[in-house]
Structure formats: structure tokens, C-alpha cells
Chain A
Amino acid sequence: KNEVEQSPQNLTAQEGEFITINCSYSVGISALHWLQQHPGGGIVSLFMLSSGKKKHGRLIATINIQEKHSSLHITASHPRDSAVYICAVGNTDKLIFGTGTRLQVFP
């Protein structure tokens, strides 16, 4: 069993839909990262969380430390949101990645 599990692996949506991507982990962490990777490889850091909730534009990330679970929400999804979303958990000396959720948003 992977230390970081994401669901779903693949997700398709119509433009405007509300999207949720989940991440569960089994190790102790000091921070959880949500990353976005576009075709071609470039990775952008969306959020870094250690507790609670963060919001940036149409993106919201939450984390429940007790349940070892985090969610990434996208409101009013748009085709430009199409990408792979990766959850990574870390502490001072190690970062463990999930395998990613591939999102496609159609107009």
C-alpha cells in the first residue's frame, strides 16, 4: 500500500462543475503540498498546508490532521484547469508523492 493515496486517478468534468480530489496518507507529516503538473512536465505549487484550510481564487485546500486526509476543491472548473494534480506529504528531510489525479475539463 502506498504511503500517499489519491482518488480518483482520473477525472473528467464539464466546464463549471465543482471538483474534489482526495488525498490520504499513512505517515506522520509536518506539511502537505498540492501541486499542479501540466503536459510537458512543469510543476506549480498550489498550496502548502499544515492545518485547516487555504483558499486561492477558485481553489480551496483542506486538511484533517487527525484523519490524515486532505482535499483539493476547484469551483467553477474551466478547461485551463486540465492538468495532473499531485498531493505530496513531507517533513524536514523527505517528501512523498501520490501518483496524481489526471483532470480533464471539457467546454
Chain B
Amino acid sequence: ETGVTQSPTHLIKTRGQQVTLRCSSQSGHNTVSWYQQALGQGPQFIFQYYREEENGRGNFPPRFSGLQFPNYSSELNVNALELDDSALYLCASSWGFGLQETQYFGPGTRLLVL
């Protein structure tokens, strides 16, 4: 049990809609990162936030955006959903700055876009 929670666990949306996924980090973790994992693939890094500022981004378009709040919660927002956005979305938090710290993963949100 890592103490990192995500909501919802499952979600179905239609193409063109917008979605907000939520993550609650372990208390004291200043960094949160988000990942997309398509079926049968390894995770892909979307972005990370450190103390509420975006610090590093993978190859994802601007319609993927995020927020990190002072209470160790964060959001991943995806606008104009496409069928290929169907995936497991994982968040992970860590103590310090950057991704060279041990990552504590949440259970993920499984998104299906129809």
C-alpha cells in the first residue's frame, strides 16, 4: 500500500469530451508525475509537477494539462478526447525534486474513449 490514491478507477467518455483525473499523493511528497499506459505497452511519461509548477513534459500535446495543489493532490486534464487516449493513467509521487527519487504509484484510472 503506497498511500497514493487515484479517482475514478474506471471512466468511459466519448470522443471530443473532456476528462479530469485525480491523484492524491502521500503527504510530504513534493513531486507528482503522470503516465499513460496503453494496453500491452509500457508507461509513457506525460509530465511532472514539483511544488505546483510543471517541471518536465513528455511528447504529449497541449490538450493534456495538469495541476498540482498544496494539499498534495493533483489533476490530469485531457481536452478533446481521441480514441487513442484510451489507456490506463497512472500517477506517482516522490519526496524530492525530479524523477531520480523512488516513485510511489497509484492504482491507476482506466479510461475508455468511445
Contact = CB atoms under 8 A, between A and B. Distances in A.
Interface of A: 30-31, 33, 35, 40-45, 48, 50, 86, 88, 90-100
Given A42-B107, A45-B104, A93 B43 contact: no
12 contacts: A30-B100, A33-B102, A40-B107, A43-B90, A44-B105, A45-B105, A88-B43, A91-B100, A92-B55, A94-B99, A95-B35, A98-B42
B56 A93 contact: yes
A45 B42 contact: no
Contacts, number: 75
Contact of A97 (B45, B98, B108, B110): B45
Contacts of B101: 31, 48
A93 B55 contact: yes
Contact of A42 (B45, B97, B103, B108): B108
A31 B103 CA distance: 11
Interface string B12-51: 0000000000000000000001010100011111001000
B50 to A, nearest CB: 9
B97 A97 contact: no
B8 interface: no
A94 B59 CA distance: 10
B58 interface: yes
B88 interface: yes
Interface residues of B, number: 29
Given A92-B56, A95-B45, A99-B41, A48 B100 contact: yes
Contacts of A86: 42-43
Given A86-B42, A93-B98, A95-B33, A45 B103 contact: yes
B29 to A, nearest CB: 13
A30 to B, nearest CB: 4
Nearest to B96: A92
A44 B24 CA distance: 16
Nearest to B103: A45
A7 to B, nearest CB: 14
